[in-house]
Amino acid sequence: MTAVMPRGGPHASWLDRRYETDEPEYLDRPDTPHEAARVRRALHRMQLLTRGYDRYARWTLERAGAGPSPRVLELGAGTGGLSRRVLRRHPGARVTVSDVAPDAVAALEAGPLGAHPRAVVRRLDATAIDAPDAAFDVAVFAASLHHLPPDKVRAVLREGTRVAGTLLLIDAWRSPWVCAAAIPLMFATGGPTHVHDGVISLRKAYGAAALRELAAPLPLTVRFAFPGYLVAMVGRGA
């Protein structure tokens, strides 16, 4: 059931199932590294324009606890814009910034985060995180969950809450109207390459019902910040 569960959840409508796609993004294909790098840069521009990183950094720190040196893990960091803002906003925060793609990790290591005294760059797979239990106060996985099939999402839920007190998931809004409205912005920030991956991302986005279903067998609490818009806090005490 999990492997074939629609992204809109087990009771997704016929229309929602038609909206879903199994097309791969450039970011998911081993044979399109140049397009993937272009998409990461385009998404970075879009996040800057929409102030996405600033919002995500604020939400991350709100869940990091009141201690003087919160330990933050960013999974699927891409260009690392979120982590840079976390470090800028909180003078004591310690950030592990990671991605599964070796070229993304190499670019992070070569950039400002690679030399930052409170940042560590690592290659980590969000579905099998190479870190001890409770190593972080908060883990954040932004704009990335839709890349994974349902069984891997369940692995992220399990792993993210094993290594961190709270797992913050931020992803696209599952709505054909949002998708249509976002196309001009995707084109403006990255041309047809960004539209390609952006539209597929939005059509693969998980709905809240799907996430609830995937978390159901696990001893976790899932709370949504906005109904219909996938911003979820997951944890044993979320």
Ligand X SMILES: C[S@@+](CC[C@H](N)C(=O)[O-])C[C@H]1O[C@@H](n2cnc3c(N)ncnc32)[C@H](O)[C@@H]1O
Alpha-carbon distance values, 157 to 70, 77, 113, 154 (Å): 21, 17, 26, 5
Structure tokens at 169: 């998931």
User: What's the length of the chain?
Assistant: 238
- Looking at 84, 90, 147, 154, which residue binds ligand X (CB under 6 A)? 147
Size of the site for ligand X (CB under 6 A): 21
Residue 51: CB partners within 8 Å, gap ≥ 6?
none
Q: Considering beta carbons, is residue 144 or 166 the nearer one to ligand X?
A: 144
163 sits near ligand X (criterion: CB under 6 A):
no
Q: How far is the CB of 13 from ligand X (least distance, A)?
A: 26
127 sits near ligand X (criterion: CB under 6 A):
yes
100 sits near ligand X (criterion: CB under 6 A):
yes
Tell me which amino acid residue 210 is: A
222, containing H or E segment: strand 221-226
Q: Which of residues 41-60 bind ligand X (CB under 6 A)?
A: 43-44, 47
23 touches 200 (CB < 8 A): yes
- Looking at 9, 76, 165, 235, which residue binds ligand X (CB under 6 A)? 76
213 sits near ligand X (criterion: CB under 6 A):
no
- Looking at 61, 93, 104, 233, which residue binds ligand X (CB under 6 A)? 104
143 sits near ligand X (criterion: CB under 6 A):
yes
78 sits near ligand X (criterion: CB under 6 A):
yes
Q: How far is the CB of 205 from ligand X (least distance, A)?
A: 11
Q: Rounded to 10 degrees, what is the CA torsion of 109, 111, 114, 119?
A: -120
Residue 15: CB partners within 8 Å, gap ≥ 6?
none
| Alpha-carbon gap, residue 226 to 199, rounded angstroms | 21
200 sits near ligand X (criterion: CB under 6 A):
no
Q: How far is the CB of 83 from ligand X (least distance, A)?
A: 9
Q: How far is the CB of 204 from ligand X (least distance, A)?
A: 11
Q: Considering beta carbons, is residue 69 or 109 the nearer one to ligand X?
A: 109
- Looking at 35, 54, 109, 125, which residue binds ligand X (CB under 6 A)? 125
Q: Which of 50, 42, 38 is nearest to 189 (CA)?
A: 42
3-state DSSP assignment of residue 23: coil
Q: What's the first-to-final CA gap in the chain, in angstroms?
A: 26
Q: How far is C-alpha 19 from the geometric centre of its chain's CA atoms?
A: 21
144 sits near ligand X (criterion: CB under 6 A):
yes
- Looking at 126, 157, 163, 211, which residue binds ligand X (CB under 6 A)? 126
Which residue ranges make up the site for ligand X (CB under 6 A)?
A: 27, 40, 43-44, 47, 75-78, 81, 99-101, 104, 125-127, 142-144, 147
